């Protein structure tokens, strides 16, 4: 299997192209500051992952901004911290402030010349539109949780993306390489339904799974520490 075997890249966005861990932690600072250093950054990300995945499973039709606000309320309750509704809503609306990884825009510009590019993201349309401004590329199709009514790793999300790619781009699943950071949200289901997968391992060298729930036993077809490394491998191929 070679990187040049594919015609379409389906992309996760947050964690892969947008540095969501930095964005989450920046938006959590007001809450963490109330705890006097009792919760470190890695513990905060692990707790966030637990709350986010539980909410997405329990309330699959809830807009992602409301998922985030509920995460903030849940974390505050877990940590015995007093917050205001305005603080929870501010966290819920923080996605547009999350930064892109430094290599994302240049990598996408190169990849756009080689593949059709499709987003499959656990987010709402308005939040993604703001993030897309940081990525500097026009995607050939965009599939969000708001469009689908559920959140990855639900199979519905992947089926929706496959149908979109086939109907809009005329591309079969065998020609798709799913490119993502999260083993939990993306790779486990992508492999289960037979897609080739490309792991952009933004946490390579770090312990734990950060802002994504842990999952074991997932094998991917390609594995790179960054989008820049992915592009370099494609150039060599």
What 3-state class would DSSP assign to 120? strand
Put simply, whether the predicted model's pTM sits higher than 0.85 gets the answer yes
Q: What is the structure's pLDDT at 209?
A: 86
Active site residue 124: no
Q: Which two tokens stand for residue 83?
A: 């917050």
Q: What is the structure's pLDDT at 208?
A: 85
Q: What is the structure's pLDDT at 93?
A: 97
What are 10-31's pLDDT values in tens digits?
999 999 999 999 999 999 999 9
Q: What is the structure's pLDDT at 37?
A: 82
> Does residue 49 sit in the same domain as residue 103?
no
What are 183-233's pLDDT values in tens digits?
999 999 999 999 999 999 999 988 888 889 888 889 999 999 999 999 999
Q: What is the structure's pLDDT at 160?
A: 97
Enclosing domain of residue 125: 3-19+98-236
From 48, 66, 97, the end of a domain falls on 97
From 82, 97, 112, the end of a domain falls on 97
Q: Name the helix (H) or strand (E) containing 55.
A: helix 41-58
Q: Out of 5, 12, 103, 186, pick the active-site residue.
A: 12
**What's the distance, CA 10 to chain centroid?**
12
CA distance 20 to 12: 12
Residue, of 147 and 237, whose pLDDT is higher: 147
> Does residue 58 sit in the same domain as residue 70?
yes
- Cβ–Cβ < 8 Å for 18, 121: no
What are 153-175's pLDDT values in tens digits?
999 999 999 999 999 999 999 99
Number of domains into which the chain is organized: 2
From 59, 78, 97, the end of a domain falls on 97
Which of 181, 174, 70, 75 is closest to 121 using CA atoms?
A: 181
CA distance 34 to 38: 9
Which residues, including other chains, have CB under 8 Å from residue 221's CB and lie 6 or more apart?
Answer: 1, 177, 196, 197, 198
Q: What is the structure's pLDDT at 41?
A: 95
Query: pLDDT confidence of 75, banded at 50, 70, 90?
Result: very high
């Amino acid at each position: 299997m070679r990187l040049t075997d594919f015609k379409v890249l389906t992309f996760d966005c947050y964690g892969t192209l947008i540095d969501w861990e930095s964005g989450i932690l920046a938006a959590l600072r007001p809450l963490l500051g109330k705890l006097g250093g009792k919760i470190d950054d890695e513990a905060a990300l692990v707790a966030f992952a637990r709350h986010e995945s539980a909410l997405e499973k329990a309330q699959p039709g809830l807009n992602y901004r409301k998922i985030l606000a509920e995460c903030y309320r849940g974390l505050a309750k877990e940590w015995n911290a007093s917050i205001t509704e305005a603080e929870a809503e501010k966290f819920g609306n923080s996605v547009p402030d999350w930064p892109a990884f430094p290599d994302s825009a240049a990598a996408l510009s190169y990849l756009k010349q080689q593949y059709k590019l499709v987003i499959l993201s656990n987010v709402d349309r308005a939040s993604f539109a703001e993030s897309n401004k940081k990525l500097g590329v026009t995607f050939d199709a965009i599939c969000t949780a708001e469009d689908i009514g559920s959140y990855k790793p639900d199979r519905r999300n992947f089926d929706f993306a496959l149908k979109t790619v086939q109907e809009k781009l005329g591309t079969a699943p065998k020609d798709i390489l799913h490119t993502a950071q999260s083993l939990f949200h993306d790779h486990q289901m992508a492999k289960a339904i037979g897609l080739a997968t490309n792991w952009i391992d933004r946490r390579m060298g770090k312990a734990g799974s950060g802002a994504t729930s842990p999952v074991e036993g997932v094998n991917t077809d390609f594995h790179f520490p960054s989008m820049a490394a992915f592009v370099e491998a494609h150039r060599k191929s």
